[in-house]
Amino acid sequence: MIITETSANGIVIVALEGNLDALSAPKLRGSPPVADPKTTVVLDLEKVGFMDSSGLGAIVGAAREKSDPACGIVLSCMNDKVRRTFETTNAQRLFHIFDDTAAAVDFAATRQIART
């Protein structure tokens, strides 16, 4: 799993590449912006080929630890495989999901400004 961190508009974008499974989930959970409760993160899932329950657990667990659980982690660019995993498990209700990373950043930035 390759984790790339960039930022735009004051929002950290964490792009994932590879499989998000039991092996790589701890790496995601350990990523500083994901683990920091105060940082709003846009998680770009475009290049995630496969995600299992551990990967799902890493994302849900990280969102639960954010000070704003509804918007602390915003998801973007899910492929159909990953989207179905979220929908099958009803986990999509916990997140705002965008099909474009720039739109997700705009949304997160607006929410962050509204909070502060």
Partner 1 sequence: MKTILAFREEEFAWSHEVFSCVHPLLLPLCNKPFIEFLIDFAILVGSTAVRILCDGGINPIERYCEDGSRWGIALSYGSLHGDDTAETLLGKNRKFCGEERIMIVSGFSFIRYDKRLNYKSLAGSLPEGEWAACPGGSITLSGAPEKPPADGAATPLSLMPLDGMASYYRASMEALETGADRYVLPGYGGEPGCAIGRNVVISKSAQIRKPVSIGNNVQLLGDTIIGPSAIIGSNVIIDRESSVESSIVLDNTYIGEQLEVIGRIASGNRLNDPRSGASISMEDPHLLGSIKKSQTLSALPRKVAHALAALVMISVLAVPFLFLWPLLKLGGRWRSAQIDCHSENPGETISLGKVELDATNALGATASTLSLDRYFRLFRVLTAELALIGSTPLPAEEPHPNAPANALAYRPGVFSYAEAEQWPATGGDAAIVERYHLVHSGPISDIGLVVKAFVNRPHEKSSA
> Binding residues for partner 1, per CB under 8 A?
52-54, 56-57, 60-61, 64, 77, 80, 83-93, 96-100, 102-103, 106-107
Query: Quick one: 36 or 52, whose CB is closer to partner 1?
Result: 52
Q: Measured between alpha carbons, how far is 92 from 56 in angstroms, rounded to an integer?
A: 11
Q: How far is the CB of 53 from partner 1 (least distance, A)?
A: 4
Least distance from partner 1 to the Cβ atom of residue 107, Å? 6
- Give least dist CB 104 to partner 1, A: 8
Under 8 Å between Cβ of 36 and 14: no
Q: Which is nearer to partner 1, 68 or 106 (CB)?
A: 106
Q: Which one, of 60, 51, 64, lies nearest residue 24 by Cα? A: 51
From residue 99, alpha-carbon distances to 30, 42, 91, 116 in Å are 25, 12, 17, 26
